[in-house]
Amino acid sequence: MAGNLRLLAGVVGLAGLSSVLVFYAGVMAARPIPALTRFEVVTDAAAAPAKNAVDDAPDESTYTFRPPSGQAASLSCEDARRIVRQVRATLAYAPPSVAPERLANGTADWLDPYGLWSEAPDSPIPEALERHAKGLVLELESDDGAPCATTDHLGVALLRWSDELGARFDEARRAAAAAKASVGTTKASAVNTAAGDAMFDDEALPARAVATSLGEHGGRLEHALGESASAYVDAARARFFPRIDGEQWGAIVRAAAVRAYVQALDPHGAWAPRGEEASVYDVDLDAHPPDRLWDQAVRTAVGVRIESGPMDPLEVGDVLLSIAGVSTVGLPPEQLDQLVYATTDNPISAPLVILRHDERELRTLQLPAPEGAQGGSVPSSEPVAALPSYRIRYGAGDALVVEIHDVRSDLGDELAATVQKQLKADSRPVRGLLLDLRDDGGGSTEGAIAAIGMFVPGAPLFPMARRSGFIEVDRAPEPPVTDRWMRPVASLVDGDTASAAEMIAGALAAYRRGPVVGRPTYGKGCAQEYLDDDARVGVLRLTTLLYALPDGAPVQRVGLEPSLLLLPPVQTGDTSEPPPEHEADAPNAPPTWRGPDVRDRSLVLPAADTAWPEHGGAVGPCRSKGVCEALQALGGSGQGKRPSTAEAPSVSGRR
């Protein structure tokens, strides 16, 4: 939405697939781009082509995030159609139709990072997009080689609108630069006001008023600082109201339309051009994500004002004007994120130009070099992080609870390290391990498979189907004996447990290693891969695989139905909490798929071998009511209707 930094869905592509079992003799699809492990600044874009889907060394590769250009994303007519054809051919399922009105709304959103062009209430562009929505769908899906008349027409409309707004900006800038300062206004306070005011709200404002305000702020800054500020005000003019022709505007519309089209076709999909591809990768879920220059910031008329969590030597209140020579003003959120990621891994080549509160001159700062680095970054040697965990009294011993908030690519190592640390920390016996997967939206399939190896080492796991009918199956790793857990285990889930988290819970239940406890899960039984687009101008994330549990039970759209169902608390009176969302509610969500039973029957354990011991009512105290309810159900006595721990989760009948 205008004024907001976009956060894409937290799904990591399949990386490092091993021990593939083939159920259909077909052509194996190319391997996905591996998980991101390192980030570098590259100034020559041609020198850093993206890793593609046939990389031969997925475990050792790196991915380079280059600094963005600062220009709005654009696509030629043929490139836009080439990407759309690739997307429709690559999905794991027959592509659905795209609703014209949904494409129009999505195009308006992607087209407008500031709330000035197509989201403002006084903009004529939304009405034009709505009027041409059907033509836009047909144009993107066309194979006849005809010109892209619809987007070219919209480009002309945008040219007129941008020129009107630009004229308002220029007039206000000239007037403010020439005006005398108000009585009692110091130069420092004038600089603070002109540079630091937040200019974009969550709710779109009238673009004409915003354009005037942007010009006024830029003119005041020039009046206070002179020529040193002019370059940044010029950059603001070029970003907010670029001096380009209608054909170039049409190319910008096409890029926005392709982004909207991919997301309308595939709710987990995305496309981004080079320079913005960080928005396609879920770097926050990688084992070692890049550092950030701040936690929170707002966009101003000439840059970015830091609100909290600045990286040294930045301070709260600093207005960051440029990073590594790239002006921050008016950068789309996706490019701003990429600029930060590209910078922090190689800070030696990344000077920062800032305005500091109550100062009257620009200041240039340099980020400190990583310890031990000479001219660049060094691989991290940090120890494996421990997951949040704690013990709870359970009968004559303890239950160990491990919270897994997201499934990172190194989850197997994290989980093993956490369990070993807890076992060494206390001599009381641990009677069982509860994996708290509530509110876990998933993440890395590779991480889920590694974690499952602790409980069913070497087991064939999830059948994964491509659209061609080719089915591949991953096998769990076989960790060292010291890292395996052969005692009781269970998974605590809720409606926000999704994707890779559902994989963990579902696999343990399918092999009868441990029951699923809690509430029905989200139901995301599909996986995404990263691909270079066929136009060679950007990166795609697409749903290319549908998966089922090891026993063949579907997950997509239906989720897991716990074998020990914990009812939600009774709602009394009016509640503002919205009903839970599920995969089946997403427009154009991939279809349900039931797979073959791929289990190694010799690894399906008898219930008696992994059943939780009775606790005799001695449970707690607990930090969470849900954890106590789960432990009481797992080891309770006299519960005649209590399902056996041997039961696998069933397909939910709710949806």
What is the mean predicted confidence (pLDDT) over 625-635? 94
What backbone torsions phi and psi does residue 519 show, to the nearest 5 degrees?
-125, 160
Which residues are CB-neighbours of 400 under 8 A, at least 6 positions away? Answer: 389, 390, 391, 419, 422, 430, 432, 433, 434
Report whether 456 contacts 436 (CB < 8 A): no
**Nearest CA-CA partner of 118 in 84, 154, 76:** 154
Rounded-to-integer distance, Cα 631 and Cα 627, Å: 6
| pLDDT in the model for residue 513 | 95
Secondary structure (3-state) at 461: strand
Q: What sign for the dihedral angle of Cα 251, 253, 257, 260?
A: positive
Residue that the structure tokens 């010029």 belong to: 234
- Give the residues across from 425 on adjacent strands: none
What is the mean predicted confidence (pLDDT) over 461-476? 95
What is the mean predicted confidence (pLDDT) over 272-293? 76
DSSP string, 108-163: HHHH-SSSSSSSSTT-SHHHHHHHTHHHHHHHHH--S----HHHHHHHHHHHHHHH
Number of H helices, E strands in the chain: 15, 20
pLDDT at residue 27 is higher than 90: no
The residue that leads in pLDDT, 569 or 173, is 173
Alpha carbon 29 to chain centroid, angstroms: 24
Residue 286: pLDDT band with limits 50, 70, 90:
low
Report whether 251 contacts 81 (CB < 8 A): no
What is the mean predicted confidence (pLDDT) over 623-645? 71
| pLDDT in the model for residue 318 | 94
- H/E element, 270: strand 270-273
User: What is the length of the chain?
Assistant: 655
Rounded-to-integer distance, Cα 114 and Cα 239, Å: 10
| pLDDT in the model for residue 179 | 84
The residue that leads in pLDDT, 236 or 202, is 236
Fold of 389-651: 2-enoyl-CoA Hydratase; Chain A, domain 1 (3.90.226)
Eight-state DSSP code of residue 482: G
Q: How large a percentage of the chain has pLDDT more than 90?
A: 67
What backbone torsions phi and psi does residue 554 show, to the nearest 5 degrees?
-75, 155
What is the mean predicted confidence (pLDDT) over 444-459? 96
Report whether 217 contacts 173 (CB < 8 A): no
The residue that leads in pLDDT, 419 or 190, is 419
pLDDT at residue 199 is higher than 90: no
Average model confidence (pLDDT) across the chain: 83
Tell me the Ramachandran region of residue 16: left when phi exceeds 0, alpha when psi lies from -120 to 50, beta otherwise: left
| pLDDT in the model for residue 41 | 30
| pLDDT in the model for residue 30 | 31
Cis peptide, bond prior to residue 58, ω within 30 of zero: no
pTM of the prediction? 0.84
What is the mean predicted confidence (pLDDT) over 316-335? 93
Q: What sign for the dihedral angle of Cα 595, 600, 605, 610?
A: negative
Angle between helices 207-225 and 149-178 (to 10 degrees): 40
Rounded-to-integer distance, Cα 162 and Cα 153, Å: 14
Report whether 294 contacts 306 (CB < 8 A): yes
> Which CA distances in Å does 252 have to 151, 244, 259, 354, 383?
9, 11, 11, 30, 45
- H/E element, 529: strand 526-532
Out of 38-52, 213-227, 534-548, 579-593, the most confident range is 534-548
Among 60-69, 434-443, 546-555, the least confident range: 60-69
pLDDT at residue 233 is higher than 60: yes
**Domain spans of the chain, in order of start:** 72-274, 389-651
Secondary structure (3-state) at 576: coil
What backbone torsions phi and psi does residue 39 show, to the nearest 5 degrees?
-135, 140
Among 125-139, 153-167, 313-327, 331-345, the least confident range: 331-345
pLDDT at residue 497 is higher than 80: yes
Which residues are CB-neighbours of 572 under 8 A, at least 6 positions away? Answer: none
Among 284-298, 358-372, 471-485, 506-520, the least confident range: 284-298
| pLDDT in the model for residue 195 | 79
Q: Which two tokens stand for residue 418?
A: 């956490």
| pLDDT in the model for residue 586 | 92
**Nearest CA-CA partner of 401 in 424, 377, 430:** 430
pLDDT at residue 538 is higher than 80: yes
| pLDDT in the model for residue 292 | 85
Residue 382: pLDDT band with limits 50, 70, 90:
low
Q: Which two tokens stand for residue 64?
A: 């380079």
Rounded-to-integer distance, Cα 343 and Cα 337, Å: 10
What is the mean predicted confidence (pLDDT) over 211-230? 93
Q: Which amino acid is at 467?
A: R
Q: Which two tokens stand for residue 581?
A: 């969302």
What is the mean predicted confidence (pLDDT) over 236-250? 96
What is the mean predicted confidence (pLDDT) over 300-311? 94
- Give the residues across from 548 on adjacent strands: 554
Among 21-30, 433-442, 601-610, the least confident range: 21-30
- Give the residues across from 472 on adjacent strands: 22, 464
Report whether 37 contacts 62 (CB < 8 A): yes
The residue that leads in pLDDT, 640 or 99, is 99
pLDDT at residue 649 is higher than 50: no
